[in-house]
């Protein structure tokens, strides 16, 4: 029997995360005897930094960051953002051959993001890297503060509205190179909580995902409240792209992708 426990939990304000956690946070599923404190919504790079400090009991984090906290956190089977055709995009204000990006100023959405590591894998000699919040990257390219950037989240649906062009789909490059889906971010729990509590958390996250799939129209007010892009179609496209069968259960293929990454 799991003892009553109050847990801190953090995830991003992006539609895929708020869609996944809506039921768990708002009591649409029973989580007794666990109690989740008021959710902390933060940019994924902030969550990555907090994971390095072992601050939260349960947290969303980039799979790049997860590799740095294996001693403190265990990956849950539910809640991940992982799939095909959903990876970060390298974009610029004008068309470049990808080899010409080396030496130019390239923005990344945080040092420990999956996007940052993918860029390093794809262009190892690209060293003029500037970290900034993901929602600052496209305006910074347009303003000439950087020459190119790796964009994530809703940005993949709106970069053309900024007049930007695609240089390389880094997710497609990963898929072509490995044959595996691209692991973007996952949900991790502190190892110190113990196997019984971790197992219960995983069960509740997966139940929250299943509830969201079964009730796709519910929770939209909560989701839209925190979304960067308010366009309803963009929000729904975002959820459709980043929340899939891997979000309910990583499965063997998902775990293999995480291990390879």
Residues annotated as part of the active site: 153
| Number of residues in the chain | 261
Query: By the 8 A CB rule, do 86 and 184 touch?
Result: yes
Give, for 233, the enclosing helix (H) or strand (E).
helix 232-242
| Six token digits for residue 189 | 């729990």
Q: Which residues of 132-166 are buried (b: 16+ CB within 10 A; e: fewer)?
A: bebbebbebbeeeebbbbbbbbbbbbbbeebebee
Residue 83 CA to residue 250 CA, distance in Å, equals 10
DSSP labels, 44-91: HHHHHHHHHTT--SEEEEEHHHHTT-TTTEEE-SSS-EEESS---EEE
Residue 247 CA to residue 212 CA, distance in Å, equals 11
Query: By the 8 A CB rule, do 106 and 146 touch?
Result: yes
Place of tokens 């003029």: 128
At residue 192, the 3 state secondary structure works out as helix
Residue 258 CA to residue 139 CA, distance in Å, equals 32
Residue 135 CA to residue 94 CA, distance in Å, equals 19
């Amino acid at each position: 029997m799991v003892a009553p426990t109050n847990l801190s939990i953090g995830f991003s304000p992006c539609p895929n995360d708020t869609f996944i956690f809506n039921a768990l946070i708002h009591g649409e599923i029973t989580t007794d005897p666990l109690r989740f404190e008021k959710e902390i919504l933060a940019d994924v790079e902030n969550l990555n930094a907090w994971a390095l400090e072992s601050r939260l009991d349960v947290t969303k984090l980039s799979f790049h960051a997860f590799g740095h906290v294996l001693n403190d956190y265990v990956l849950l089977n539910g809640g991940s953002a992982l799939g095909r055709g959903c990876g970060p995009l390298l974009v610029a204000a004008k068309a470049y051959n990808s080899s010409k990006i080396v030496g130019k100023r390239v923005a990344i959405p945080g040092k420990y993001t999956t996007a940052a590591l993918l860029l390093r894998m794809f262009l190892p000699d690209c060293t003029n890297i500037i970290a900034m919040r993901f929602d600052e990257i496209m305006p910074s390219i347009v303003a000439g503060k950087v020459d190119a950037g790796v964009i994530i989240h809703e940005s993949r649906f709106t970069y053309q509205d900024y007049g930007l062009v695609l240089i390389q789909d880094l997710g497609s490059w990963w898929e072509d190179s490995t044959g595996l889906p691209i692991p973007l971010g996952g949900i991790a729990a502190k190892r110190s909580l113990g196997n019984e509590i971790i197992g219960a958390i995983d069960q509740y996250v997966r139940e929250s995902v299943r509830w969201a799939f079964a009730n796709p129209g519910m929770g939209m007010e909560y989701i839209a409240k925190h979304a960067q892009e308010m366009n309803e179609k963009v929000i729904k496209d975002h959820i459709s792209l980043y929340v899939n069968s891997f979000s309910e259960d990583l499965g063997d293929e998902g775990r293999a992708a995480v291990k390879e990454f």
